[in-house]
Amino acid sequence: MSKIGLFYGTTTGKTEEAAVAIKDAFGGDLVTLVDVAQAEVSDLSDYQYIIIGCPTWNIGELQGDWEGLYEDLDDIDLSGKTVAYFGTGDQIGYADNFQDAMGILEEKITAQGGKTVGYTSTHGYEHSESKAVKDSKFVGLALDEDNQSDLSGDRIQAWVAQLKGEFGV
Ligand SMILES: Cc1cc2nc3c(=O)[nH]c(=O)nc-3n(C[C@H](O)[C@H](O)[C@H](O)COP(=O)(O)O)c2cc1C
């Protein structure tokens, strides 16, 4: 069992592609990828370090598979877990709800005891509002394959380097 479990949901594949790129950037067998369409909330308990990947759908909502797991998160104790978040979204088309899903999940998982790492700067984005922004930072890595796909590779490399330090792996 690897140390890091990366749990992602995806509807049109973009978040899955990002998940694979994040795993590759960690290198080796550090990261196990889990599509939440085939997962249960209790699977989170298997890992010391957790990465959560969720795109925002339907104007500020969780992606469908995450939606299905959301209420079950109430029943799990995540104290002692270190958790990082990433999302894919569209800052131009959904400027008032950019990456909301990442913020919704971060709030819930933090309430269940998870410790958030992997905050990033909002510099370089054009959205107006986001539930994923706390204290002027994104609570995780905000990817925008719809408008800034050319930036994703560098953003992922920089974030994974940051996480290696914060996870201590
Ligand atoms: C109907 C629809 C609603 C969307 N709503 C939002 C939104 O509220 N906020 C956001 O940041 N992106 C929104 N998006 C953009 C998606 O999050 C983005 O395309 C994402 O990369 C899709 O991820 P997936 O391919 O992994 O499912 C929306 C896209 C569609 C088609």
Chain segment 127-166, per-residue pLDDT in tens: 999 999 999 999 999 999 999 999 999 999 999 999 999 9
Pocket of ligand 1 (CB under 6 A): 10-15, 55-60, 63, 88-90, 94, 97-100, 145-146
CA distance 151 to 120: 14
* Gap from CA of 97 to ligand 1 centroid (Å): 10
For the entire predicted model, the pTM comes to 0.98
pLDDT at 28: 85
Residues in the chain, overall count: 169
Instruction: Please name the residue whose Cα sits nearest to atom 12 of ligand 1.
Output: 89
Give me the number of domains the chain comprises: 1
CATH of the domain at 150: 3.40.50.360
Q: Report whether 106 contacts 132 (CB < 8 A).
A: yes
Give the dihedral sign, CA 132/135/141/147: positive
* Gap from CA of 72 to ligand 1 centroid (Å): 23
Residue-number span of the structural domain to which 132 is assigned: 4-167
Ranges of the chain with pLDDT below 50 = none
